[in-house]
Chains A and B, each alone.
Chain A
Amino acid sequence: MTRDGAEAVACTGLAHAFGETRAVDGLDLTVRESEVFGLLGPNGAGKTTAIRCMTTLLPVPAGMVRVFGHDAARDRMAVRRLLGYVPQQLSADAGLTGRENVALFARVFDVPRRERAERVGQALAAVGLADAADRLAGTYSGGMVRRLELAQALVSAPRLLILDEPTIGLDPIARTGVWEHINAVRAATGMTVLVTTHYMDEADQYCDRVGLMHHGRIRALGTPAELREGLGARRRAAGAPDTDPLPTLEDVFRDIAGSGLDEQSGDFRDVRSTRRTARRVG
């Protein structure tokens, strides 16, 4: 599963509050080098806040977050050089071509001029956008924009690729396309991938391990198979017949998060952002 079991991300007692709301509340999490790790959870579970702490967007006290051994509080520039980040929103600039969008990130990651054009071309080719590279990003479909964002993240050869809801709002074919490119690039580069998603089928199919977050903490951690089998065993121990179908990862999700409405689930801005993204890709 991993090359040497080294830690790509290590969070120790990570906590972050917005006013009186404790978005992340004592998160302990380790992402191993070269794995695809899925961070799952209902709206408002604290996934995006945790990722913002890991990406240095939110300030954290020293020692709480380490990325490949670098402290996210003290050594932010070193952490950022190791990251490729794709936020939840469709963040490509519609007024630039695909090539210009990627070139911007090549520049701000200090790619020297002599290799910039070639590196940008390789990043675009790696996500299947070589032919559309000189079209304005505003003319791309939702799936193409997501792949363009992937190219923007890949151009600096990151060791850790962080994707926040990368397939939200995409149709099933575009979702598969995005994941195929993520997997192909991961396989070729050996990079670590940390992804948040609401789609349990994606987590089951593509993630090596998943962590289920609820109320700011990890409530379940393991491979999708381990989590499914664990719930099945608990149900059998509680008297469920052996003939019951094996639980799915969605059943595990419901078991952890509950199936009722949670009044604290996601603030207005989160929901607006999610809907806006879904509308733009739709």
Chain B
Amino acid sequence: MSEAPAAQHAASADGDRPEGIGLLLRPPAPRAGWRLLPTRVVAMCAVELQKLRHDRTELYTRAVQPALWLLIFGQTFTRLRAIPSDGVPYIDYLAPGIIAQSAMFVAIFYGIQIIWERDAGILNKLLVTPTPRAALITGKAFAAGVKSLVQAVVVIVIAAVLGVALTWNPLKLLGVAAVVVLGSAFFSCLSITIAGIVLSRDRLMGFGQAITMPLFFGSNALYPLSVMPGWLQVVSKANPLSYQVDALRGLLLGTPAHLALDFAVLLVAAALGITAASSLLGRLAR
């Protein structure tokens, strides 16, 4: 045994401690039950917002694609009048779909961040904290939701600049925020679930690429259910993105929507996603 630590222990036993570490001698009182979940969600969301504050590059680069969809696809198809759009200009009809798409794109690659966190040791460190896996995943899911929400705000501003007639009713905008967060929670959990199965970044990239476009084109983001072939209608009805888009259209444009059903589907999808991702998180920790 080295001599120095023995001497230091003697000092510590006498209470001769360095100044200014008093709080580090007292463990915090543990939270339990329902109070644990909100603190973990807030902690994970705070991290995402802090990262965005330090580096907004991703926010700007991710805004390019939705801007192009609205500018090129939206304006061109508005002129063509080829797609029925519930009585509103096509670019207006398209805008909620693009908001949902850009939010989904943020969330669907969230599993890559989890794999990066695993490789960097961050995930293991979080798993050694008093945080149940379901709470950790819920926190990550809502953090993805917050990140997507910031992205959605950028797209909403672009849409407003392009003349899309969006609502500015605060209550409806709050509903929009809830829809974006719930949808992103599901898609991020889908991504984490796939990460828990494939375990590597490269494979997850492949899966992400493979499912992103089918989810987008297999929804009502670009065109209504009525113009789809029968088989695609079935896909679209099973696709949570369709319910997200339907709710966003109803809230932002005032078009007919099934808000209760949309929220119910998104809530159930998010809950199922959190359950699946939590159950596979242990595979990533090994």
Contacts and interface: CB of A to CB of B under 8 A. Distances in A.
Interface string B28-45: 111100001001101100
Contact of B40 (A108, A118, A184, A189): A108
Contact of A81 (B1, B42, B130, B285): B130
Interface residues of A, number: 70
A224 B129 CA distance: 32
A10 interface: no
A80 B1 contact: no
B121 A88 contact: yes
Interface string A1-16: 1010000000000000
B13 interface: yes
A18 to B, nearest CB: 8
Given A95-B51, A96-B54, A108-B40, A87 B125 contact: yes
Contact of A96 (B17, B39, B47, B124): B47
Contacts of A36: 5
Given A104-B47, A108-B126, A190-B12, A81 B20 contact: no
Nearest to B129: A108
Interface residues of B, number: 51
A167 interface: no
A31 interface: no
Given A188-B18, A189-B21, A183 B5 contact: yes
Nearest to B1: A208
B169 interface: no
A85 B125 contact: yes
A122 B23 contact: yes
B18 A184 contact: yes
Contact of A187 (B1, B5, B27, B132): B5
B161 interface: no
B6 interface: yes
Contacts of B26: 157
Interface string A33-75: 0101000000000000000100111110000000000000000
Nearest to A186: B5
B202 interface: no
29 contacts: A34-B9, A56-B127, A57-B127, A58-B285, A77-B30, A80-B130, A87-B124, A87-B125, A95-B55, A96-B51, A104-B46, A107-B46, A108-B126, A111-B28, A112-B28, A112-B29, A122-B22, A126-B24, A152-B125, A157-B27, A183-B8, A184-B8, A185-B24, A187-B8, A205-B2, A207-B1, A208-B2, A273-B119, A276-B119
Interface of B: 1-2, 4-6, 8-9, 11-13, 17-18, 20-31, 36, 39-40, 42-43, 46-47, 50-51, 54-55, 119-122, 124-132, 282, 285-286
